[in-house]
Structure 1
Amino acid sequence: MSATIATTLGTSVPPFTPHAISVSLPTWRDNVGYEEGEKRVVDAMVIGYPRFFIHLSIQKLAGICEQKFGVNGEKCLLCPTKRLAEDCRTFMLSRSAEAGTTTSVRLVQFVVCPEDKKTNGSSRNGVNCVELHIVLFPAASFPLAKQFWQHTGMGISSRLAERALSLLPDETVQTKSPAPAPIARPMKSTNRHYSRSISIPKSPTIPGPTSPTKRAEEPDTIGADESTYLEERYGRNLPVAAAAAAKRAMRRRIAGVLVNDGHHDTHAGSNDVEIGPSSRGVSDVTEDDVFLYPTGMSAIWSAHQLALGARPHAKSVCFGFPYTDTLKILQKWGPGCHFYGHGSATDIDSLAEMLEKEASTSSSPPILALFTEFPSNPLLRSPDLVRLRELADKYNFLMVVDETIANLVNVELLPYADIVVSSLSKIFSGDANVMGGSLVLNPKGRHYQELKAYMAANYEDCYFDEDAIYMERNSRNFRKRIYAINENTEALCDFLRAQSLAGGASAPCVIKDVYYPKWSTPENYERCRIKAATSDHQRDGGYGGLFSLTFTTRAASHVFFDNLHCNKGPSLGTNFTIASPYVILAHYAELDWVEQFGVDPGLVRISVGLEDRGTLLAAFEKALRAAEEAVKSSEATQ
């Protein structure tokens, strides 16, 4: 495990990965420091989760756009399409008005072509121009723009930024960018994910070696052209020109229609590959029912936009304690949201009462859509989809289910949903070097025709081709990886639960509970878990690769986390084990609020990888013993 572990604060996870989607935050104190904007931590950051930390290449490109098009110190956000730039402007203006303030937002289109480089004999060489849509606004309004970036996941990708930079004249790229205008520190109650300022790097896009006074580790310095050549010539990547085929291959994988996806004699995106009925529990699903997005969050945001565009407007329901941005989307777009944060049977009873009351006063559906995760993040609770589906049919609303954590190899969720969304950035990719998301329509759903018609008229493919190439490559063996990770995770959870209070262990155990679908609402999970004996699948589905631990004391949480020998940082579903004090990162400004839904601020979330099982067990046992010793020492001194 040690060969792949990033231990230096602020560096990429995995190490030396220019487009990594996670960042090393190796201690509990580092994570708190990140949330509090501690200079020691912020200054060390060279990368971060892409919706929270704007990649250095994007910062560089934004600085160039601000110099070229900005006036009076304006800042900007970069979007891949005109419609998304307009959506960003609408969001900023409406949120500003709701807060009783005013702002101004301008849109500029900027097309960068190979000819702009003006090198000797330059030509397009098969490389397309890059179209940027620039949202310009006063520097003080940057936190509003950052909210749009984070919640929607619809900003440009770091690979698109690097492509644009490679096409710009050298003198433009090398020009020193100005420092950003100062932004007032937010009040403590504000979630810092929504307000962290960025600085435009003064170094080249890919920073070079550092001195002892600079950041300790930077992304790999290999050039983009060399990287592309190596991947296509000696790696597994398709050429960039085959992006359409790569996207078609992914849509077929997600639709479950590939008969022999593991056989690479014929590429999964080719016209002569063998296609069969879907294995997703709804046999009529085809690749045309699958839509790709730049991130998992953009798939969720787009599902909500789809609902708002195709159905009568009403509030939505967020059922169960969700990933933070899902709730923010439902609250900040459209008429608002009803929140049932426990996701329990009692919550379903309360939901049914509310629906009946609302339906009695109007002929329109009482709610627009119900959004839920299966299972939830971070408590791994699975909602009762049977009862929720019955309510959806009775009261005529949409069911949107996020399958990211369980994934399509382990469970069949589409029969219960109108729309299934997923973050492909997680286990579908596994390599943590590219973002992506998917949205699947259920062709048997009662609202399928109107949903499909809306998508036909409004869907924009803004998934950058080079990102799709990497995602397609990473996903070719995702089923085999998931089965292996299922087994590793179950073995690890069995070991830890046996030494927890929930598992019947006695003092001096320090683990309070292990949250894992095998024990968290198991009856709901088992109903959807794939059984090979009763389906076309060759293997039973497992319980996934994610679990969470809570501890008897806050000190035990900290010591366990600090002594756990694995990667530490945001994200999940990686091929390597990665741990995070998830509640600190996702809810630091609202810890009291989350506790009322059973979410412990000392919770440690672990995503298990493909490491040797014995090595994994030894690493967790060592951290556990360190936590036990710390508690004993504390008790002895009292």
Structure 2
Amino acid sequence: MSARDLRRDPCWQAGDLGHPLPDSPHAVSVALPTWRDVIAYEENDPNCRGALRTVYPRFGLHPLVAALASQALQQTNTSFPQGSSSWPYPNRAAATAAQMHCRRQRSNGTTHLETIHGLTCLVADAICTPAAKAFWQHTGLGASSRLAAVALGHDTAPDPEDGASARCSVVRRLAAIYDCEPEAISLHPSGMAALHRALELVCDADPTRPVLQIGFPYVDVLKLPQMVFAGAELLLDDRAASVQSALDSLRPAAVVVEVPSNPLLRCIDLAVIAKLAHQRNIPVIADDTIGSGLNVDALPHVDLVFSSLTKSFAGRGDVLAGSLVLSPHSRWHAQLIDAARQRPPLAPLADGDATVLEQGSRDVADRIPRLNANTLLLAARLRQHPAVARVFHPADCENFRQLQRPGGGHGCLLSFELKGGSEQAQRVYDALAVCKGPSLGTAFTLVCPYVLLAHYKELPWAARCGVPSHLLRVSVGLEEPEELWRRFQQALDA
């Protein structure tokens, strides 16, 4: 039976709840087709949760990973009490790092490392489970669904030489995009794992110093240093005077920025802020996931660039991966390269995931310009519709334009706000005949009420930051533009 073509036959109606997006056993998104489904998901409604056939990999255990975790618990059920949890990792090094985190956070709890089918599970009692879950989510170092499928005997293990060849091909592809040497690039099991690696490298000299994030954050980019490293402070005021004051008072280990931010798609004045940081010998880490390295070039200004290759680089929505680039322009480039050589990453990108990533990214240079164009067109049409109050798109940001490569576009993401507020947003969301769920960068359009999914327990804070809960975020796909606009127009008109 062939997979469902989500461009022509999207998962948008109530009966599609829980369908994997894409139609694959390794999908990283899941259909939440109605506003009520989104609320039920956030409220942990058992009927909603029970209908999900997959889950975004860092926000919970994929069914295959959950099956492996269950087996590990069964192996240790004589020594661990009821209410314990299990978290599979690709190797002992990553699992040990998770265990050490639990011991730091919950010294009165109990953890154990259980080897099962070649992988290592962190088994945590009820006291340590919140810390174990936080490390799993924020670091993105957990075992992938493909690793779990092999461990469970559902799939055969890929040839290691094929995996190595795929990783080399992906690194060369990224080196061409970023115009740097392959040695400066490393691959990781997720975008957050790439940020974890960046923080390891820059915080190693003084692990007691926090980082400073400038601009409204993607939730885990802020939570990772807060929960796993020495802390993080958030600065929403990106004016030079405010940044200078924060740098002088905090003396952070690093500055972290997103180009552009999620979901408002704004960009700081990176050249000015990087100069202020570098004058104080503070490195700058940039996340270009949404902008895409094909569209923007942050390397001349920053010291490290990390990206979630899960998104528009792979374009498939069925593989989790990340990259870290050490900028050749950085004054610390040689030092960072040397540190990377001496301290291997906690977990490599697995062979099976590398192979899928390499296959999916072969057309990236052709696909991303098409996504750019489709998104720009949809943004222009949304602005003209009388029901739309505001459209957020990087083309409106002068600071973003200063980072664009010659011929570069603006990425596949836009957000919009409706004049009718939350009530109208719910009606439009329910009526939209496109796939609805988390993630972005897929060949099929994907819509979500992003703030509800990312900040459900802190909505008043998000509102104070100028990010309303009824905002609709759109990852524009490769559907025929006129057909895609027809679907949006029908939902808006309804």
Which TM-score bucket, shorter chain as reference? over 0.9
The 1:357–1:464 alpha-carbon spacing in structure 2 relative to 1, beyond 3 Å, is closer
TM-fit CA distance, 1:301? 1.7
2:317 counterpart letter in structure 1 = A
Q: 2:11 aligns with which of 5, 26, 33?
A: 5
> Does the aligned pair in 1 maintain the 2:134–2:227 contact within 8 Å?
no
Alignment partners' CA distance in 2, 1:67 and 1:26: 35
Alignment partners' CA distance in 1, 2:21 and 2:364: 20
Aligned to 1:511: 388
The 1:72–1:523 alpha-carbon spacing in structure 2 relative to 1, beyond 3 Å, is closer
Aligned to 2:424: 556
TM-fit CA distance, 1:252? 1.0
Structure with the greater alpha carbon radius of gyration: 1
Aligned to 1:22: 29
Aligned to 1:498: 384
> Does the aligned pair in 1 maintain the 2:375–2:476 contact within 8 Å?
yes
The question of 1:447 aligning with 2:324 is answered no
TM-fit CA distance, 1:377? 0.5
Alignment partners' CA distance in 1, 2:114 and 2:166: 31
Aligned to 1:475: 361
> Does the aligned pair in 2 maintain the 1:6–1:12 contact within 8 Å?
no
TM-fit CA distance, 1:450? 1.8
Aligned to 1:416: 301
Aligned to 2:181: 286
Aligned to 1:248: 168
What is the aligned residue count? 481
Q: CA-atom RMSD, angstroms?
A: 1.8
Alignment partners' CA distance in 2, 1:393 and 1:135: 39
Alignment partners' CA distance in 2, 1:614 and 1:65: 51
Aligned to 1:53: 60
2:95 counterpart letter in structure 1 = A
Q: Which runs of 5+ in 1 are unaligned?
A: 113-130, 167-222, 229-237, 257-278, 359-365, 500-508, 532-539, 627-638
> Does the aligned pair in 2 maintain the 1:2–1:566 contact within 8 Å?
no
Q: TM-score, normalised by structure 2?
A: 0.94
Aligned to 2:245: 353
> Does the aligned pair in 2 maintain the 1:310–1:454 contact within 8 Å?
no
TM-fit CA distance, 1:87? 1.4
TM-fit CA distance, 1:141? 3.3
Aligned to 2:130: 143
1:151 counterpart letter in structure 2 = H
Alignment partners' CA distance in 1, 2:356 and 2:148: 16
Equivalences for 1:241-390 in 2 at 5 Å?
241-256=161-176, 280=178, 283=179, 285-310=180-205, 313-342=208-237, 344-345=238-239, 348-357=240-249, 366-390=251-275
> Does the aligned pair in 2 maintain the 1:240–1:469 contact within 8 Å?
no
> Does the aligned pair in 2 maintain the 1:576–1:609 contact within 8 Å?
yes
Deviations 1:65-114 (A, max 9, x none): 122234233432111222211211121122225xxxx201122344x3xx
Alignment partners' CA distance in 1, 2:245 and 2:80: 54
Alignment partners' CA distance in 1, 2:247 and 2:139: 28
Deviations 1:358-380 (A, max 9, x none): 6xxxxxxx221000100001010
Alignment partners' CA distance in 1, 2:265 and 2:246: 26
1:30 counterpart letter in structure 2 = D
SS of alignment partner, residue 476 of structure 1: helix
Alignment partners' CA distance in 2, 1:400 and 1:437: 14
> Does the aligned pair in 1 maintain the 2:10–2:433 contact within 8 Å?
no
SS of alignment partner, residue 415 of structure 1: coil
> Does the aligned pair in 1 maintain the 2:12–2:432 contact within 8 Å?
no
> Does the aligned pair in 2 maintain the 1:414–1:442 contact within 8 Å?
yes
Using the TM superposition, name which of 565-574 and 51-60 deviates more: 51-60
> Does the aligned pair in 1 maintain the 2:29–2:438 contact within 8 Å?
yes
Alignment partners' CA distance in 1, 2:85 and 2:286: 36
TM-fit CA distance, 1:338? 2.0
> Does the aligned pair in 1 maintain the 2:110–2:127 contact within 8 Å?
no
TM-fit CA distance, 1:144? 2.3
Deviations 1:157-215 (A, max 9, x none): 1111110111xxxxxxxxxxxxxxxxxxxxxxxxxxxxxxxxxxxxxxxxxxxxxxxxx
TM-fit CA distance, 1:611? 0.5
Q: 2:322 aligns with which of 429, 437, 444?
A: 437
TM-fit CA distance, 1:312? 6.5
Alignment partners' CA distance in 2, 1:303 and 1:547: 28
> Does the aligned pair in 1 maintain the 2:295–2:408 contact within 8 Å?
yes
Aligned to 1:174: none
Alignment partners' CA distance in 1, 2:145 and 2:482: 37
Deviations 1:510-546 (A, max 9, x none): 3221010111xx2101111112xxxxxxxx1111110
TM-fit CA distance, 1:2? 3.5
Q: Which runs of 5+ in 2 are unaligned?
A: 1-6
Identity %: 35
Q: TM-score, normalised by structure 1?
A: 0.73
Aligned to 2:403: 528
The 1:357–1:64 alpha-carbon spacing in structure 2 relative to 1, beyond 3 Å, is closer
Aligned to 1:103: 109
Alignment partners' CA distance in 2, 1:393 and 1:415: 12
Alignment partners' CA distance in 2, 1:81 and 1:444: 33
Alignment partners' CA distance in 2, 1:625 and 1:109: 56
Q: 1:76 aligns with which of 53, 64, 86?
A: 86
SS of alignment partner, residue 542 of structure 1: coil
SS of alignment partner, residue 106 of structure 2: helix
Alignment partners' CA distance in 2, 1:146 and 1:105: 13
Alignment partners' CA distance in 2, 1:248 and 1:311: 33
Aligned to 2:349: 463
Alignment partners' CA distance in 2, 1:513 and 1:349: 29
The question of 1:546 aligning with 2:438 is answered no
TM-fit CA distance, 1:395? 0.4
Aligned to 1:87: 97
- Bigger relative contact order, structure 1 or 2 (CA pairs below 8 A, ≥6 apart): 2
Aligned to 1:585: 453
Aligned to 1:610: 478
SS of alignment partner, residue 278 of structure 2: helix
SS of alignment partner, residue 301 of structure 1: helix
The 1:66–1:5 alpha-carbon spacing in structure 2 relative to 1, beyond 3 Å, is same
The 1:329–1:13 alpha-carbon spacing in structure 2 relative to 1, beyond 3 Å, is same
SS of alignment partner, residue 544 of structure 1: coil
Alignment partners' CA distance in 1, 2:263 and 2:359: 28
Alignment partners' CA distance in 1, 2:228 and 2:85: 24
Aligned to 2:288: 403
Aligned to 1:209: none
TM-fit CA distance, 1:140? 4.9
Alignment partners' CA distance in 2, 1:72 and 1:336: 31
2:125 counterpart letter in structure 1 = P
Alignment partners' CA distance in 2, 1:96 and 1:140: 7
